[in-house]
Amino acid sequence: MTRIFAIFRRELRGYFATPLAYLFIVIFLVLAGVLTFFVGNFFDRGQADLQPFFTFHPWLYLVLIPALSMRLWAEERRSGTIELFLTLPIRLSEAVIGKFLAAWCFAGIALVLTFPFWITVNVLGDPDNGVILCSYVGSWLMAGAFLALSAAISGLTKSQVLAFIGATTASFLFVMAGISTALVPIAAYFRPRLRLLERELPDAT
């Protein structure tokens, strides 16, 4: 556990050692605000809640989480430091967990910094804060799922660009799998074939 925490602290400190971390947070906050208050028609809805805010989170994570995690293992492989890193007295599982938790914590920090949105809806109305809190927790868990997928893809290549493209593509497929508009044509394609198979099964027995 001590070694995991040491890796976690090293990686998290490394994020804030470069301006890219602050740029990531600024981009996340700006995009979240624009999507919530303008694209999501927050003021036109006449309802003080954060539904538009959380509705766009999968699309935010679709791009920003791969950008955050593309360097996790790709940079280590490209620079050749992965061999040195893995010769340290730590297990591979501890390295994976430590790196993942650092990136997940950083994503959580960016999410927590959106608390002014929560304050705004409480000033404008009387929202259900329990629902909002659960939505924040769910959003953070979703960020962890995106991050796990992106980190796995980052470990397959030395190129950060390829890691970003691969993670974004894989994440996009999972996002589309949860949208009914994308599932309707798929269901329409397979439904007749399933019915035909059901009719053939009794004959086969």
pLDDT digits (tens, 9 = 90+) for 14-57: 888 888 788 889 999 999 988 888 887 777 777 778 888 898 99
187 has a pLDDT exceeding 70: no
| 50 phi/psi in degrees, rounded to 5 | -110, 25
Task: Calculate mean pLDDT across residues 96-112.
Answer: 91
> Model-level pTM greater than 0.85?
no
Highest-confidence segment of 18-22, 72-76, 130-134 = 130-134
The total number of residues written for the chain in this structure: 205
What is the C-alpha separation between 111 and 181, in angstroms, rounded? 28
**Average pLDDT for 140-149:** 93
Cα-based distances in Å from 145 to 26, 36, 108, 171 = 22, 22, 13, 9
Instruction: Give 3-state DSSP helix, strand, coil % of the chain, rounded to 5.
Output: 85, 0, 15
Q: Residue 205: which pLDDT band, with cuts at 50, 70 and 90? A: very low
Is the per-residue pLDDT at 204 higher than 50? no
Provide the pLDDT for residue 202: 58
Q: Please report the DSSP string for 138-199 in residue order.
A: HHHHHHHHHHHHHHHHHTT-S-HHHHHHHHHHHHHHHHHHT-HHHHHHHHHHHHHHHHHHHH
Phi then psi for residue 181, to 5 deg, are -60, -35
More confident residue, 166 or 92: 166
